[in-house]
Amino acid sequence: VIQAVFFGICVLTDLSSLLTKGNDSQEQERQLKKLISLRDWMMAVLAFPIGVFVVTMFWSIYIYDRELVYPKLLDNFIPAWLNHGMHTTVLPFILIEMRTTHHEYPSRSCGLAAVCTFAVGYILWMCWIHHVTGVWVYPLLEYLSPGVKIIFFTAVTIIINIFYLLGEVLNNYIWDTQK
């Protein structure tokens, strides 16, 4: 969902940019700048770090033991192409976006705070679902003791923050900018 919303905003930004080109409307320029800021924030805080995290974690665990993240039973409901759409294509598309469009990253402290907020929110959502249904969204969590879950959730949050920093460094390298 994050990737779909992000790339939808990218398309909207590009279309708006094309439609306002040559137009002297201050209001349209102001709205376009807001849209670009939203696109850049989403890229920095959500699309890149979460996208890279999903691809690396999913396929790492899948290769180790697919039943821990994507039980074979799901093959009956989710076709292979959709699985790759959710867990593979995210990475090349996000790298292409980073290479073709310069993104302004927020200040490091604001960006990391936003990434942590998202990670903690997602972890709480998973715990809430387990509390209500008695089933973990990811089967892997069933096998972890409460203490190990806390360590796992902390490690996941740290990894996502590292991917945020990697995205910032990669963006600056590609576009040869320094903060």
- CA 40, CA 175: separation in Å to the nearest integer? 14
pLDDT at 25: 80
- CA 155, CA 99: separation in Å to the nearest integer? 29
- CA 158, CA 155: separation in Å to the nearest integer? 5
pLDDT at 26: 84
Model confidence pLDDT, tens digit, residues 137-177: 998 999 999 999 999 999 999 999 999 999 999 999 999 86
Going by the DSSP 8-state scheme, the letter that residue 22 receives in this structure is T
Q: What is the pLDDT along the chain (179 residues), one digit of tens a residue?
A: 999 999 999 999 999 988 888 777 888 888 999 999 999 999 999 999 999 999 999 999 999 999 988 889 999 999 999 999 889 999 999 999 999 999 999 999 999 999 999 999 999 999 999 999 999 999 899 999 999 999 999 999 999 999 999 999 999 999 986 55
- Helix %, strand %, coil % for the chain, to 5? 80, 0, 20
